[in-house]
Structure 1
């Protein structure tokens, strides 16, 4: 869930406190895309006059939604490939490189990308207050796509063309749901790494992280478990707090009696490993992401290096490495600073919008409640659900969150999704596959489970080191789309 097609949330200033950003790219720092090859240029941003509330016929308010297009490879009669934006800024880099562009080349397609409302520069309201966030939902986003599709068909003269939706992570879910809800507008969909089941307690996330680490060496999990045990022991006395302050480069002194700060610290440190696993070897450097060379192997080499000293020292070394890569001096572990940042209604804080969607639609909280995982048990479900109330107000109770999740699964069907001409690629290393489609739903809803790959790997530019199954998956996706276009 950070990033156009995947979840790549960017944290300004000192890293930390991004409990909602678990597995959402909090580790990586987003930079401007690297220079393009000579003769290539990023497409200019364009603006579409979008409806504010698609479900209130008497409300005629509109706003400007950002989009990009690339017609370089289009030939009359070719398909329209619609890249769906997610919980981060739309990046024009995806319009000139990566697999969507390769599909456009091979299919002679017209490439469009629509930024998701409330993210990037697509601001439907003056700020992100709770009252205004009422217009943020997957339903509104799908209606945005439908309105945009209908308008572009007329504006670009693409009324007879077949449209294919593309998305990864949350936008992957939207791609599948767009095909479900608006089948007359979108002919097929590629729903990459898409969590299609909304779930409050996503404790399976850490179980997949555990299994993915074990593909390198089970000793890696043992070392992480012992590092957490060391931390718990250090928390028993103030002298230990000082050691944690120094070794983990905390921005402010740790109060070991503050259970919220302790939970947040454990959550953020676990997030170091989670983010590495989720994006392991994914070729994200093309869009300016730093630290893509840090892999599961890197984590395990550090954690299993006996010459580095105690297990917690190794864990601290991993934390320092990631801080340095991100260009950050210290780790902000305090719960209060996280809440303060998320309560800001200014547009600079886009993590607030995603937290709102988790509190009202999805859950997806990557808790420490699974019994057999190496990250301890210090950040349970209540740590995450409490953030909804602390950030948005007392009425956002766990009961309200559960009700929203139930409504989402009722709207879209959860695992009982009824769609045709949809393919669901998932990586075996990616923790999000636990909420995705990994076996065929039907003859028209195909699953591609790719061994050795992580989150949205099939959407990135090809790399010489791509495993055979990833190469084959990309070929299968192309073949499926070619087949759909004949139907």
Structure 2
């Protein structure tokens, strides 16, 4: 492949994964790309989408003395519905609820087959669903998975009465964090839902998610041994140059940094290493699956292409190739330089206004990781190519710097343990739930990849990435992915039988 063609391919993948939104908040923040972990699909043919609808929801479901309410967004598609047919509900996650999902995706294929009434419920604090006047730390007290699950429970009761669906079977759907919610909803409210699809669902909360980079390493390794080796060499050379004042100036130019490197500013240095690793994390997490559905310019960009860049000697030595990746991303966002300063990132994430860059979802997701889940993609795993330059302490410090001094490591650990006690972690007790995961996706390490029981099966799909089974079928789908969608359809059929 010619150098220019390779560069153009890389620009295409950057546009798809990260969009045109730019700012100081990293494109990958704790495993979450801007827009949310369930990709925002394109609108094929600019078709008309269902309008936003609104439902009056309680602010605090667990305090009867608090009577405050807010308006939660939902939308629906009843074009497939037949009398007595099931009700499908896609639960929102850590991003805006995109109405394109009501006309596209594997679940719409299922809806057409089973005559389902389809609804999508946006998660509180994300998208247009604003329960409080701002996102101050005090107001974020009402942002939790438990509140979101109760939102869904109250919403289902409302839907049953409003649309005369009291005798119909209900099935929830979700991908990534919303996949966790889908499975947990069936666990907590089995009287309200008859089955659940929990795609790419991390169900085990863990403070130090060091396995994440292990899967990134393994996924890059599917192209051969040189990709990880070249990244590791690039990191070593980068680190050696960082230690020499004259060489730091070279790095500043090579990586187009907005500010000079202060080698003694540990948070800045960690944030720089983490941001550059994030360029690779985002590509691995989503890889090649459903790229056309997500609006890609080129549907053939894969991990193979990324590793070809790292092995392309015409781009220079390994550290130059690492820098070329960064430059292409900067150009994609029309950014002149990389703002890697830790203080800049923290200041953005401390913004509380709904019109701020943080309101896209970065601040809210950061808060949820600090009070419920952890899932910090640290560099603490020794056998991975990105070095050990952004340890767990780096992520913990962000919680304290953004939300307050009480957010210590022990506070976060206690919160994570509470989450696992509440839901069960890997040992959650559920029936009528299916757990699809892809081997390329780093999040599968926090999910269910082996059957919990015959009534709670896992579907582990080799070669696929995050939420792949949720997207529309493609001629390029692997046989395992095709079989996974068929299996899920069979599970739904069993759940909704009278």
Q: Place the TM-score, normalised by the shorter chain, in its bin.
A: over 0.9
**1:381, distance to aligned residue in structure 2 (A):** 0.3
Show the 5 A alignment for 1:172-211: 172-211=179-218
Find the partner of 1:270 among 235, 260, 277: 277
Tell me the equivalent position of 1:240: 247
Find the partner of 1:130 among 134, 137, 159: 137
Any conservation in 1 of the 2:36–2:94 contact (CA below 8 Å)?
A: no
Residue 372 to residue 386, structure 1, CA distance change in 2 (3 Å): same
Residue 171 to residue 29, structure 1, CA distance change in 2 (3 Å): closer
Residue 288 to residue 131, structure 1, CA distance change in 2 (3 Å): farther
Alpha-carbon distance in structure 1 between the residues aligned to 2:461 and 2:391: 30
**1:258, distance to aligned residue in structure 2 (A):** 1.3
Alpha-carbon distance in structure 1 between the residues aligned to 2:253 and 2:174: 42
Alpha-carbon distance in structure 1 between the residues aligned to 2:204 and 2:64: 30
1:109 matched to 2:116: yes
1:329 matched to 2:368: no
Show the 5 A alignment for 1:55-94: 55-94=62-101
Show the 5 A alignment for 1:7-406: 12-14=21-23, 17=26, 21-26=29-34, 34-37=42-45, 40-288=47-295, 294-347=301-354, 348=356, 349=358, 350-406=361-417
**1:101, distance to aligned residue in structure 2 (A):** 1.4
In structure 2, runs of 5+ residues without a counterpart are 1-16
**1:167, distance to aligned residue in structure 2 (A):** 0.3
> In the TM superposition, what whole-angstrom CA distance separates every residue of 1:392-424 from its partner, at most 9, and x where no partner exists?
010111111011101000000001110000000
Find the partner of 2:419 among 408, 416, 419: 408
Alpha-carbon distance in structure 1 between the residues aligned to 2:297 and 2:208: 30
**Which stretch shows the higher mean deviation, 285-294 or 430-439?**
285-294
Residue 324 to residue 27, structure 1, CA distance change in 2 (3 Å): farther
> In the TM superposition, what whole-angstrom CA distance separates every residue of 1:186-209 from its partner, at most 9, and x where no partner exists?
110000000010000000000011
Tell me the equivalent position of 2:482: 471
**Which stretch shows the higher mean deviation, 131-140 or 212-221?**
212-221
Aligned partner of residue 300 in structure 1, secondary structure: helix
Alpha-carbon distance in structure 2 between the residues aligned to 1:139 and 1:35: 32
**1:325, distance to aligned residue in structure 2 (A):** 3.3
Any conservation in 2 of the 1:207–1:372 contact (CA below 8 Å)?
A: yes
Aligned partner of residue 130 in structure 1, secondary structure: coil
Any conservation in 2 of the 1:276–1:294 contact (CA below 8 Å)?
A: no
State how many pairs are aligned: 478
TM superposition score normalised by structure 1: 0.94
**Which stretch shows the higher mean deviation, 288-297 or 264-273?**
288-297
Aligned partner of residue 129 in structure 1, secondary structure: coil
Find the partner of 2:460 among 449, 458, 478: 449
Alpha-carbon distance in structure 1 between the residues aligned to 2:48 and 2:77: 11
Any conservation in 2 of the 1:385–1:398 contact (CA below 8 Å)?
A: yes
**1:282, distance to aligned residue in structure 2 (A):** 2.3
> In the TM superposition, what whole-angstrom CA distance separates every residue of 1:364-397 from its partner, at most 9, and x where no partner exists?
0000000100000000000000101000010111
Alpha-carbon distance in structure 2 between the residues aligned to 1:291 and 1:178: 37
TM superposition score normalised by structure 2: 0.92
Alpha-carbon distance in structure 1 between the residues aligned to 2:239 and 2:396: 23
1:422 matched to 2:433: yes
**1:245, distance to aligned residue in structure 2 (A):** 1.6
Residue 442 to residue 30, structure 1, CA distance change in 2 (3 Å): closer
Alpha-carbon distance in structure 2 between the residues aligned to 1:383 and 1:311: 26
Alpha-carbon distance in structure 2 between the residues aligned to 1:45 and 1:137: 23
**1:238, distance to aligned residue in structure 2 (A):** 2.2
**1:34, distance to aligned residue in structure 2 (A):** 4.4
In structure 1, runs of 5+ residues without a counterpart are 1-7
Alpha-carbon distance in structure 2 between the residues aligned to 1:292 and 1:29: 19
Aligned partner of residue 286 in structure 1, secondary structure: coil
Alpha-carbon distance in structure 2 between the residues aligned to 1:462 and 1:204: 30
Alpha-carbon distance in structure 1 between the residues aligned to 2:339 and 2:391: 20
> In the TM superposition, what whole-angstrom CA distance separates every residue of 1:38-59 from its partner, at most 9, and x where no partner exists?
7x41110011101110000121
Aligned partner of residue 95 in structure 2, secondary structure: coil
**Which stretch shows the higher mean deviation, 254-263 or 324-333?**
324-333
Residue 95 to residue 218, structure 1, CA distance change in 2 (3 Å): same
Any conservation in 1 of the 2:37–2:176 contact (CA below 8 Å)?
A: no
Any conservation in 1 of the 2:51–2:75 contact (CA below 8 Å)?
A: yes
Alpha-carbon distance in structure 2 between the residues aligned to 1:210 and 1:198: 22
